[in-house]
Amino acid sequence: MKLNILATLGLMMVTVGTAHAVELMKWERIPLQVPINVGQERIVFVDKNVRVGFPPSLNGKLRVQSSGGAVYLDASEAFPVTRLQLQNKENGEIILLDVSAVAGKTTREPVQVVYDGEVSSASASDKTQVSGSGSHSQAASSQNEAPAERRKPAKLNAPLPVVLTRYAAQSLYGPLRTVEAVPGISTVALKLPAQITTLYPSEPVTISPLAAWSLNGFSVVALQVRNTAATKVILDPRLLQGQFASATFQHRWLGNAGTPEDTTVLYLVTGGRPEGAFLAEPVMPVATAKKTRSPRK
């Protein structure tokens, strides 16, 4: 196992929600449908520094908070489909959400918005940019910029695994003011199983993928780690099975199952796509029914 252990980051104590998956929604300039349940907060990971705009009709009905590339939606009463606007503070681009609230007890998974290229990018033929009002304007600076300069990797202020791990932790749980802008970073649509059993087989834990980001040919994947035993678990990244550039636990230990301390997050940095760094999950045998012969008459 290739493993360079990062220094423990100074991260605040948090308790991860119980969701085992993230619902992926691709932004293709078509409003995203985001239903929520009354009294149940739902998170939308946009991974961009955004401000949220909503109509006065939702005052007193919907609480909206934006922090670190995540938008938190909490409805106090039901309301029909209403459009929210998420404006990228860096370039003014708009992402549209059609939000509705209904009474219900089913747990809704967090939403991860994925992109096909940058939201602010335009086709190479017209070199235009979509403004916040939906109209097109000429992007003169993009026309004058040399192609080689656009492809040049951004200069980082720390080693790449540190930058990726820090960005993932800040995006998931840090307040907005602590999230560093990392040019070129983008979300990754994960193709991992809902539970990964081969990563940490030596400990009684369940591991589920949350989200992932990529930059300069590397990826960081955030995974939820939960203790299933009635005893404390000391987390040791040296026992992880797979091929990783670095591994960082948000906490050094897990409390007994059922306590607020029984869950943490693991950040793994891999070369290329994250799926190739994990060991394959065992194939479950398929039970076959035995054929019985009917007695001869």
Per-residue pLDDT, 16: 37
Q: Clarify whether residues 272 and 168 are in a common domain.
A: yes
Q: Clarify whether residues 170 and 271 are in a common domain.
A: yes
* 62 within some domain: yes
Is residue 106 classed as helix, strand or coil in its secondary structure?
coil
* 241 within some domain: yes
* 297 within some domain: no
**CATH of residue 67:** 2.60.40.1080
Per-residue pLDDT, 53: 87
* 293 within some domain: no
* 143 within some domain: no
Q: Clarify whether residues 164 and 272 are in a common domain.
A: yes
* 187 within some domain: yes
Q: Clarify whether residues 115 and 187 are in a common domain.
A: no
Q: Clarify whether residues 117 and 30 are in a common domain.
A: yes
| pLDDT tens, the chain, 297 aa long | 545 444 444 443 333 333 346 788 888 888 999 999 999 999 999 988 888 888 888 989 999 988 878 899 999 999 999 999 898 877 678 899 999 999 988 888 899 998 865 443 333 333 323 323 333 333 333 344 444 444 455 577 788 888 899 888 888 876 655 667 788 888 888 889 999 999 999 999 999 998 888 888 999 999 999 999 999 999 999 999 999 999 999 999 999 999 989 999 999 999 988 888 999 888 867 655 555 555 555
Q: Which residues contact 39 (CB under 8 A, 6 or more apart)?
A: 74, 75, 76
Domain that holds residue 34: 23-121
* 2 within some domain: no
In angstroms, rounded to a whole number, what is the distance separating the alpha carbons of residues 96 and 49?
A: 15
Type and span of the H or E element at 142: helix 140-144
Q: Clarify whether residues 45 and 113 are in a common domain.
A: yes
Q: Clarify whether residues 174 and 266 are in a common domain.
A: yes
Tell me, yes or no, if the pTM score tops 0.85.
no
Q: How many domains is the chain partitioned into structurally? A: 2
Q: Clarify whether residues 166 and 263 are in a common domain.
A: yes
Give the HSE-up count for residue 239: Cα atoms under 13 Å, Cβ half-sphere.
11
* 152 within some domain: no
Q: Clarify whether residues 164 and 266 are in a common domain.
A: yes
Per-residue pLDDT, 125: 30
Q: Clarify whether residues 68 and 115 are in a common domain.
A: yes
Phi, psi of 276 (to 5 degrees): -70, -10
* Residue 185 structure tokens: 């970073």
Per-residue pLDDT, 4: 47
Q: Clarify whether residues 106 and 181 are in a common domain.
A: no
Per-residue pLDDT, 23: 86
Q: For residues 190, 194, 200 and 206, what is the CA-based torsion angle, rounded to 10 degrees?
A: 140
Per-residue pLDDT, 134: 35
In angstroms, rounded to a whole number, what is the distance separating the alpha carbons of residues 178 and 12?
A: 12
